[in-house]
Amino acid sequence: EAGQGTRDMWRAYTDMREANWKYFHARGNYDAAQRGPGGAWAAKVISDAREGFKRITGRGIEDSRADQFA
């Protein structure tokens, strides 16, 4: 489940980078969480790490909050 959830998150991330649209952030979390507890865990860990990185690099706390809400 965790591996499949990780793949879901990666696929959504690459789609999001191409489209630059927050929908894919939410879709990745949803798809991964549908895999079960392991997928939900992967979605949380990956999302939290991504948002933490954005905060460290100064990409904006408001943008990070919007992503976490999505």
Closest CA relative to residue 50, chosen from 34, 63, 36: 63
Cα(70)–Cα(58) distance, integer angstroms: 20
Q: What is the fold of 2-69?
A: Topoisomerase I; Chain A, domain 4 (1.10.132)
pLDDT tens digit sequence for 38-57: 999 999 999 888 888 877 87
Residue 65 has pLDDT above 90, yes or no: no
Nearest Cα neighbor of 48 from 64, 34, 30 is 64
The 10s digit of each residue's pLDDT in 14-44 is 888 877 777 878 888 999 999 999 999 999 9
DSSP symbol at 59: S
For the chain, the domains span 2-69
Please give the angle made by the CA atoms of 5, 14 and 32, to the nearest 5 degrees.
15
